[in-house]
Amino acid sequence: MPENTDKPVKVVRVAKAKGANPKGSLEGGGGLLARFRAIFAHGNDESERPGVDGLLAASSRVLTGVTVVVVLGSWAFGRGALERHVASFNTKAPEVVFEWPLAAGASRSDARTWVPKPVQNDLTRVVQEHITSSPFDQAALVRAAEELKSTGWFTKLGAVHREAGGKVRITGEWRGPAAVVKKDGKSHLVAMDGAILKLPSNTEPPERLFVISNPSSPAPLSDAGTTAFGVPWMGNDVQSAIALLKLLNAKPEVSRQLAGVDLSEYARSTKLVLVTDKGHRIVWGSPIGDLLPGEVAVERKVARLVQNLKDFGRIDADQSRVEIYTPVVMVDKTAPVDEAP
């Protein structure tokens, strides 16, 4: 037998350097195999691994999300284009329809209103300047509503909305004119609460209304320094005068000789002074509800006006100044007669 000359194989173990990871190796934290394991490893149980079905489900969810985004984006783009397309066919200016407050004794069938024609035209113009023909332009309706509120004519604006047939309808609760306040050479139309009502440019208040002159405070102003329409007059003298005029207006035989109220004495004595159509003064006294000591009741003051009317044919007894708030009626025959306001 030939002699075995093979030398024993010497096995040399070479220790791998710690942290070594040859470039491109499947082992180690940075290798491709590690990346796949991070994705698919769910323990040793095969049932915990996603497999092909899991991958398909995940892919399906991604595709569904993309589809929803695409559909929503297309819908939004298409809706805007559709609105623009529809609006392009509607070039006719909308018809503005106000539900005007009814005049005394009127019904919806005859639709008579106490709102003066110039005011009707001006409010209609305000709406027309802010709305568009597009049936989708809601922002225009909001702008129109804000402008209407700023005129002071509404205590509460109900709605400004579009109707079929290209109409824009306006509803609300209205302020009615009560008197004209004169201050610093200007005349202001005011409502029962003392709020100023806007009139068209170069339009004077109606002459048939009572006039309240010489209030202690100026007309309320906005932040821009212009007249604040819809804002009650500062102080309480204008409101007190309106309340007195409302009381006396319920007696036509008395009110037909009244021209208004002078507030020049209110600041120092809280006295209201009635002014007749002849410019005579009747010192009424304190505002209604604020009776001062030594002052006769409201009913007695009214009775004195009626008695003067019976005795002299005039509520002022045909005198330049009469005081009816004291226990004894005082007549000042030396008082000058001023023009009625």
Instruction: Reply yes or no on whether the pLDDT at 155 is more than 70.
Output: yes
User: In this structure, what CATH number is given to the domain that contains residue 183?
Assistant: 3.40.50
Structural domain contains residue 26? no
pLDDT of residue 36: 34
Q: Which pair of tokens denotes residue 322?
A: 């009469």
Helix, strand, coil % in the chain, rounded to nearest 5? 35, 20, 50
Instruction: Reply yes or no on whether the pLDDT at 88 is more than 80.
Output: no
pLDDT tens digits for 237-288? 999 999 999 999 999 999 999 999 999 999 999 999 999 999 999 999 999 9
Residue 233 — very low, low, confident or very high, per pLDDT cuts 50/70/90?
very high
Q: Which pair of tokens denotes residue 73?
A: 């984006």
**Are 184 and 314 in the same domain?**
yes
Instruction: Reply yes or no on whether the pLDDT at 196 is more than 60.
Output: yes
Question: How many domains, the chain?
Answer: 2
**Are 185 and 321 in the same domain?**
yes
Tell me which of 149, 174, 199 is where a domain ends: 174
pLDDT tens digits for 94-153? 899 999 999 988 877 777 999 999 999 999 999 999 898 888 789 999 999 999 999 999
Cβ-contact 336, 279 below 8 angstroms:
no
**Residue with structure tokens 């942290």?**
19
For the entire predicted model, the pTM comes to 0.70
Q: Which residue has the higher pLDDT, 321 or 49?
A: 321
Tell me which of 174, 201, 219 is where a domain ends: 174
Cβ-contact 131, 141 below 8 angstroms:
yes
**Are 110 and 135 in the same domain?**
yes
Residue 264: give the domain boundaries. Answer: 178-332
To the nearest 10°, report the CA torsion of 291, 296, 297, 301.
-120
- 3-class state of residue 213 by DSSP: strand
pLDDT of residue 37: 38
Q: Which pair of tokens denotes residue 41?
A: 């490893």
Structural domain contains residue 58? no
Structural domain contains residue 20? no
Tell me which of 125, 154, 174 is where a domain ends: 174
User: In this structure, what CATH number is given to the domain that contains residue 120?
Assistant: 3.10.20
Structural domain contains residue 86? no
**Are 186 and 328 in the same domain?**
yes
